[in-house]
Amino acid sequence: MQEKLTAIQARVLQAVRRRVDHGEPVPTYRELCSEFGWGSTGTARDHLCALERKGYVELAGGHRQLRLREEHPPVARVPLVGRVVAGVPVTAEENVEHRVPVPAEWTGRGTCFALRVAGDSMRDAGILDGDQVVVRQQSTAHDGDIVVATLDGETTLKRLRVRGQRRTLVAENPRFRPIDIRTESAIVQGVVVGLLRAYDAHTVARRPNVLATRGAHAHRA
């Protein structure tokens, strides 16, 4: 069992954990001094050594060589955007509702965002009304990828199928017809890399500003 922390030790641990949860490097001694107003890096070192002695972190001696001993997986926070508009950066601040935590392994080194889904055209791929999909922002995709694509100003979530020069957006629900991509204005906004689901999905689905999977159109705010 880990020893109880003092108030300042708990704050230092929280500062380290916050950086790790955001996918950032652990803070240096100087960064901790700046955050807590300490005049000496020795103070930061002493608090980290206390955290190591009590079993909360491991120190390897080198620059930023600190590791949390807790079993919390690394977390990244990605922007949940209300809509995707052609010609506007997906993660432009005016589009961001808030940021949602996701496993850091989903995001890698790329830029990711999340979208809320409305409709059931992707139900057979396990993507349901009210879910949030995590999307890696990129302009290219491979056959079989589930993509967020904008066609003639409207955005949809579908599986991309490529057959020679023909590209088609295919629903995972037999009630919906495939959409042939016949225009240069079609833009792949990104590829789905993860899925988040609230237990009460119906509550989530009633919120505004959602990405539609019904046909090819997105609800607009």
Catalytically active residues are 121, 158
d(CA 108, CA 92): 20
* DSSP single-letter state for residue 121: T
| Letter string b/e over residues 183-221, b meaning 16 or more CB atoms within 10 A of that residue's CB | eeebbbbbbbbbbbeeeeeeebbeeebbbbbbebebbee
d(CA 180, CA 168): 4
d(CA 69, CA 2): 11
